[in-house]
Structure 1
Amino acid sequence: MKKTWLLGFGFFSISIGWSLYNGFVPFFLNNYLTSTALIGFLMTIDNYFALFIQPYIGNRSDRTNTRYGRRMPYLMIGIPIAALFYALIPFHVSLMTLILFMVCMNLSMAIFRSPTIALMPDITPESKRTKANGVINFMGGCGAILAFSAGSLLYNVDESLPFLAVSAIFLVALWVIFKNINEKRDAIPNHIVTTNQTFDYKRELNSATVFLLAAIFFWFIAIQGMEALFTLYGVNKLGLSQSASAFSLAFFSLSFVVSSIPSGILGAKYGEKKMILIGITGLVFVFFLLSFVESVFSLRAILLVGGMFWACININAYPFIVSTGNAHSYGTRTGLYYFVSSLAAIISPPTLGLLIDFFGFGILFYAAAGSMIFALACLLRVNTAENSVSAHKLNG
């Protein structure tokens, strides 16, 4: 568990980076653009690169063998480059330079994201993965809270300060992981693979995996769209200031943090799928309620509840997708997980932004609830494939 907490610093840096990016970059874009749909598109253009790079890097890291291990080299390359371009974002001088810094930052993030997360199943027995995922997501949630709370305070002082702070956190996280996790020493022995192993997509993408990936896609459609457009929703629908709107989202993240470790413990006891079903059902009702909110107090109270249900989903989803494969494909399955989430990130904000352009900001949470219902339908179909998953594991 000590190694898991230390690995959590990597997820901490990723989470604080994405949360602050989603919270404040739309304001930079809003200085140049008036269309919400176009802002939503530009907030996701980087994901077109991540869509292809993350599965490739995840698969590549499964077959990498260096004296630093198979995941660490990607962290050593990607994190410093990401830190550089993250720091440059608030110093853009035009729309084109802003887009350039955004794309370069996200390209470098795609290099180390999958290998960082794949380290968890590498060093953690399957029976403890939901608990371990609860820990690293607890760290990630702490990052989101800092992004929306302390980040809001720094943003009010100077727009560049939160970005410079996150850039420094990237480098500190790399140092902590590099100094404390030795893949050659800490990896579970039967998880060490050779460089000549290949990935059989037909075998790995069994029906359970396909339906689970579809469910992941739909719940990320809801969450990615909500997070990317929430700050604009708060300003335009509820009349909040930019910093107050971003700070409100911290309540969602705070609840997620508090619920992360308990969700992992409950997932280990009752099963990942059952906890995910509870989370999806709860978020459907939360999103419907948010559509009727008019006061800041009610908004933040409901977001607190929503964070608990999101923890039920997010903490158990990654161990669930990994469990449908075998020990030789963790990096690749991590890449597939982020492939699906990146695809949702590409589609969701511009689509929801377009709906907002036509129907107003009131449509945002109705659309999010509808997407969650699709996720529920897909997850229920995973039942029909559980036998094939067991058979696959026996053959793997």
Structure 2
Amino acid sequence: MKKTWLLGLGFFSISLTWALYNAFVPLFLENYLKSAALIGFMMTIDNYFAMFLQPWIGHRSDKTVTKYGRRMPYLLIGMPLGAVFATLIPLHTGFITLVLFMMLMNLSMSLFRAPTVALMPDITPEKNRTRANGIINFMGGIGSVLAFGIGSRLYDIGSYMPFLFAGVVMLASMFILKAVIKEPVTLENRLEAEPQPQRRPVRIKEQLDRTTLFILGAIFFWFVAYQGVEALFTLYGTNHLGMSDSEASFSLTFFSLAFLAFALPSGWLGAKFGKKRIILIGVCGLFLIFGSAAFVESLPVLRLLLIVGGVFWACININSYPWVISTGTEESIGTRTGIYYFVSSIAAIVSPPLLGWVIDVFGYRALFISASAGLLLALLCLLGASSKDRTADGGPLDKTPAAME
């Protein structure tokens, strides 16, 4: 558990950087672009790199053998580069340099995101992964809270301050992870304690069974809903509700605080009652919250809805990645991690320009209405997915009534 908490520092730095990116980069782009759809499109260019790189790098990390381990080499390369280019974003001198720094930062982040997340199941037995994912997402939630809370205050000092803060945090996290996570020793001990069958090459197409496809469909649609709201909320707050830039970004702190508070309980609930069941509750609840938010004009009421929405998002997000991993084999952890982020990257590409276009046509109120529609489609996909997990040899793993539902 100690290593899991420290591993959460990697996810902490990732969440902090992405939250700051999504909160403030649209404001930089608004200086050059006036269409919400165009701004949304520019926010997705980086995800084209992530869409192709993360599955490939996750798959490659399954087969990487170095004295630093399977995953750590990718962290040691990607994190310093990500820190440098994140710091450069607010120092852009024009539209071209802004887009260049955006692309380089996100290219760097793509180098280490999947290996960082795959470290968790590498060092954690299957029965503890839902709780462990709660821990690392708890750390990620702290990163988001700092981004929207402290980040909004730093932005008032200077637009470069939040990004400099993110760069320093990322470098510090890398040094701590390198010092604490001794990957070869950890994996060797685990293999001694839990004998594994002889490994064979992992083929991506073998991972796309019926249940996995339904799960990935649900992941796509709920990330369309979430990514669109996160990327465009600052514009929604400033243009529709009349907030200042810092007020709009600070409002997202309420969502992140609720996610943070419920990250650990959500992991416990998923382990006890089944990952699919808790995800279903989260999807239904967030659907109602986003649908209601579309008709709220009061800032206190909106922030209250964001608090409740953060709880439901924790139910979804904490349990989804362990569910994807549990339906595959131990040898495919990095590959399935890459597939998970491939789907979420497609959602990140589609969502901001799609919801931005909806805003251009129907007005800002349509942001939350279209997001709730995405959650409804996610619910339909969930209904077609099985709850069964598999062991490394492909047999059923979790046979408890709660998990099997």
Match of 1:259 in 2: 262
Please say if 1:92 is aligned against 2:95.
no
The offset of 1:185, in angstroms, is 1.4
Distance 1:30 1:281 in 2: 34
Structure 1 match to 2:341: 338
Q: For 1:259-302, what per-residue CA distance to the aligned partner results, in whole angstroms no more than 9, with x for missing partners?
A: 00000011110010000000000001000110111111001100
Q: Return the alpha-carbon distance in structure 2 between the equivalents of residues 196 and 135 of structure 1.
A: 29
For the 8 Å contact 1:88–1:101, the answer to whether it is kept is yes
TM-score (norm 1): 0.96
> Aligned equivalents of 1:194 and 1:59: distance in 2?
19
> CA offsets, 1:21-54, max 9 Å, x none?
0000000000011011010000010000100000
Conservation of the 8 A alpha-carbon contact between 1:64 and 1:195: no
Q: What is the distance in 2 between the residues matched to 1:11 and 1:386?
A: 27
Query: Mapping of 1:39-58 within 5 angstroms?
Result: 39-58=39-58
Q: Sequence identity, in percent?
A: 56
Deviates more, 1:202-211 or 1:371-380: 202-211
> Partners of 1:208 and 1:391 in 2: how far apart?
17
How far did 1:57 drift? 0.3
| TM-score, normalised with respect to structure 2 | 0.94
1:72 and 2:72 aligned: yes
Q: Does 2:269 correspond to 1:270?
A: no
What CA deviation, in whole Å up to 9, does each residue of 1:108-160 have, x standing for no partner? 00000000000000000111111100000000000000000100000001000
Contact 1:13 1:169 in 2 (8 A): yes
Equivalent residues of 1:40, 1:229 under 8 A apart: yes
**What residue is the counterpart of 2:284 in the other structure?**
281
Matching of residue 62 in structure 1 with residue 62 in structure 2: yes
Instruction: Provide the residue aligned with 2:402 in structure 1.
Output: none
> What secondary structure is seen at the aligned counterpart in 1 of 2:394?
helix
Q: Contact (CA 8 Å) 2:328, 2:392: kept in 1 or not?
A: no
Confirm whether residue 219 of structure 1 aligns to residue 213 of structure 2: no
Matched, 1:393 2:381: no
User: Is contact 2:388-2:396 (8 Å) kept?
Assistant: no
The residue number in structure 1 matching 2:403 is none
Query: Which residue matches 2:212?
Result: 209
* 2:291 match: secondary structure: helix
Could you tell me which runs of 5 or more consecutive residues in structure 1 were left unpaired when the two chains were aligned: none
Q: Aligned pair 1:299/2:302, yes or no?
A: yes
Q: Secondary structure at 1:394's aligned position in 2?
A: coil
The CA RMSD over aligned residues, in Å, is 1.9
CA 1:195/1:6 → structure 2, altered by over 3 Å: closer, same or farther? farther
Instruction: For 1:243 and 1:228, locate their aligned partners in 2 and report how far apart those are by CA, in whole Å.
Output: 15
8 Å Cα contact 2:329-2:391 kept in structure 1: no
Matched residue, 1:189: 191
Residue aligning to 1:22: 22
1:70/1:298 CA distance change after superposition, 3 Å: same
Distance in 1 (CA, whole Å) between partners of 2:396 and 2:308 is 42
Deviations 1:200-231 (A, max 9, x none): 23322110001000000000000000000001
**2:204 counterpart letter in structure 1:** Y
**Quick check: 1:62–1:193 contact (8 Å CA) kept in 2?**
no
Q: Distance in 2 between matches of 1:390 and 1:331?
A: 16
CA–CA distance in 1 between the matches of 2:124 and 2:153? 37
Task: Work out whether residues 331 and 392 of structure 2, in 8 Å CA contact, stay in contact via their aligned partners in 1.
Answer: no
- Checking the alignment, whether the CA contact within 8 Å between 1:85 and 1:102 is kept in structure 2 is yes
Cα offset, 1:391, TM superposition: 11
Q: Which amino acid aligns with 1:40?
A: G
User: Where in structure 1 do 4 or more consecutive aligned residues deviate above 3 Å?
Assistant: 190-197, 389-392
- CA distance in 2 between partners of 1:177 and 1:329 (Å): 23
Query: What displacement does 1:179 show?
Result: 0.5
Structure 2: gaps (5+ residues): 398-405
Paired letter, 1:158: G
Cα distance between partner residues in 1 of 2:273 and 2:395: 23
Contact in 2 for aligned 1:221/1:344 (Cα 8 Å): yes
Q: Deviations over 1:293-329 (max 9, x none)?
A: 1111001100000000000000000000000101001
| AA at the equivalent of 2:191 | P
- Write out per-residue CA displacement over residues 310-356 of structure 1, whole angstroms, 9 at most, x where no aligned residue: 00000000000000101001001000000000000000000000011
Q: Which amino acid aligns with 2:118?
A: A
- C-alpha separation in 1, matches of 2:79 and 2:233: 28
Distance 1:37 1:374, change over 3 A: same
Is 1:363 aligned with 2:363?
A: no
Q: 1:162 to 1:195 in 2, by over 3 A?
A: farther
Q: Which amino acid aligns with 1:258?
A: A
Alpha-carbon deviation of 1:196? 8.7
Relative to structure 1, the CA distance from residue 171 to residue 193 in structure 2 (aligned partners, 3 Å threshold; closer, same or farther) is farther
Distance 1:357 1:294, change over 3 A: same
Q: Distance in 2 between matches of 1:364 and 1:226?
A: 7
Equivalent position SS for 1:382: coil
Aligned partners of 1:176 and 1:40: how far apart in 2?
Answer: 35
SS at match of 2:69: coil
1:238 pairs with 2:251: no
